[in-house]
Amino acid sequence: MIPVFRPSMGDAETNAVGEVLRSGWIGLGPKTKEFEDKFAAYMNCKYAVAMNSATAALHLAMAVMKVDGGEVITTPMTFVSTNHAILYNSAVPVFCDIEPDTLNIDADKIEALVTPLTKAIVVVHYGGYAVDMDKVLDIAKRRNLKVIEDAAHACGGEYKNRKLGTIGDIGCFSFHAVKNLATGDGGMVTTNDAAIYARLMKLRWVGISKDTWSREDTTTKAYSWYYNIEELGFKYHMNDITAAIGLVQLEKLDTMNRRRAEISRMYTEAFSSNKKIGLPVIKNYMTRPSCHNYVIKVEDRDGLNASLKQQGIATGVHYIPNNNYDMYKGFRGPTPVAGAVWKKLLTLPLFPDLKQKEIELIKSSVLDFIK
Ligand SMILES: Cc1ncc(COP(=O)(O)O)c(C=O)c1O
C-alpha cells in the first residue's frame, strides 16, 4: 500500500538520537535549546519555545493571548486540536466559513462575526497554502484582536516572502509523525515578544520559573536547586531526544519541501486539463507553499477512494468540518461552503520519498477512475 504520508528518516536522525542517548541528558536540555535557537533563526523571529505537540502549543499560545472568557473566530476545516485549544482556554469557538478553492478561512467573512466578546482569530494555513494574512491582520488591528497562526501544516511555507507562523501575534507548529518536519511528536511556539516568551517557558513546564539545564552552572557544575512556581503550568515541554531529530529535520526541511512542491506540480500537470478534478490553487500571495498535502475535489469522492484502495493507494479526508462533530454542533456558524466542499475532498499520497513509479500509478489511477 502506498501511504498518504510517510516521514523521511535516515542515518542522520538515527545517529543524532544515539548521540543524545549516550550523552546522559535525554530530557529538556541543550538539544532542545539548540533546536529552539535554530528554529527561530530559520523562521526569522526572536523566540521559539519547544513543546511536546502542536495541541500543547495551541493551548498555551491561546492562554498567553488571553482568550479566556471570550470568543475566538476559527475555521471548521482543521484538525480538531485547533478548536479544542479554544475550549481548553474556556473560550468559545465561532466558526467562520472557508474559501471553496483554498479551503482556508474566508477573510472576507470574518468581520461580520466579531462581537464585543471576540478576543482573537485563529487561522490555519490549510495544506501549507497561506491564508491571506494582510486581510486578517487589517481586521485584527481595527477591531483590537489577536491573531494566532496554526502553522501545523505550514513549516517552511511563506506568505509574501515571510515565513508562515511568524506573521500574526503568535505561531504554532506541529512536528507530528506526518508533518513536513517530523519528530514523532512535538511542537513549537514562535513569538517576537520577550514577555510572552518568558511566560511560555514557565507554562510549558508546570509553571517552573527556570529550566533544569539553566539551573546547572556549567562552570562550577554546582547545582542551583532553587526554583519558584508563579502560576499553574502544564507538562508540555519537548525533550532532547525529540529535539535531536528536529535539528536534523530542520536542516533537510527546504530540500524536503522542494520535493513536495515538485510532486504537487506533477499531479497538477497531470490533472489540470480534466475539469472534473478540483486542484489546490496557488494565489499570488502564496509565495512558497509548504505543500503539506495534495487535496483534490471530486464529485464521487468515496468511489475514487475505494478505487484507489484497490490499486494499493491509500488516501485520506482532511477534514470533516469540526462543527459537524457532536461536541461542536452547538457553536455559532453556519459554514455552508465547508459543509458542501468537504464531501468532495480526497487527500492523495504526498511525501518526499514518494517514488516516480508510485506517482505515475497514482496519476493514472485517478485519471482512469474519473474517465
Ligand atoms: C491543522 C492542525 N493543527 C493542529 C494539529 C495538532 O498537532 P499535534 O498532533 O502536533 O498536536 C494538527 C495535527 O494534525 C493539525 O493538522
pLDDT digits (tens, 9 = 90+) for 286-299: 999 999 999 999 99
Helix (H) or strand (E) holding 149: strand 146-150
* 135 CB-near residues (< 8 Å, 6+ apart): 107, 108, 110
- Dump pLDDT digits (tens) for 220-270: 566 677 888 989 999 999 999 999 999 999 999 999 999 999 999 999 999
User: What values do phi and psi take at 201, rounded to 5?
Assistant: -60, -35
Give the percent of the chain with pLDDT over 90: 94
Q: Are 34 and 181 in contact (CB under 8 A)?
A: no
Cell 487527500 maps to which residue?
A: 347
- Give the mean pLDDT of 106-131: 98
- Dump pLDDT digits (tens) for 163-181: 999 999 999 999 999 999 9
Q: Are 74 and 148 in contact (CB under 8 A)?
A: no
Nearest residue (by CA) to ligand 1, atom 16, is 79
- Give the mean pLDDT of 193-203: 97
- Pocket probe for ligand 1: among 4, 174, 185, 236, the residue whose CB has the most ligand atoms within 8 Å is 174
Rounded mean pLDDT of the chain?
A: 96
| Cell numbers for 90 | 474556556
175 vs 21, 22, 32, 249, CA distance in Å?
20, 24, 13, 10
User: What values do phi and psi take at 24, rounded to 5?
Assistant: 90, -5
Q: What is the pLDDT of residue 221?
A: 60
- Give the mean pLDDT of 122-143: 98
- Does the pLDDT value for residue 198 go beyond 80? yes
Q: What is the pLDDT of residue 220?
A: 55
- Dump pLDDT digits (tens) for 213-226: 666 655 556 667 78
Q: Are 351 and 7 in contact (CB under 8 A)?
A: yes
Q: What is the pLDDT of residue 123?
A: 99
Q: What is the pLDDT of residue 215?
A: 61
**Residues pairing with 95 in the sheet:** 74
Looking at 151-300, list the stretches that DSSP marks H as alpha helix, in order from N- to C-terminal side: 194-203, 212-215, 240-271
- Give the mean pLDDT of 306-320: 98
What number does CATH give the domain 11-370? 3.40.640.10
Ligand 1 atom nearest 178 alpha carbon: 14
Ligand 1 atom nearest 55 alpha carbon: 11
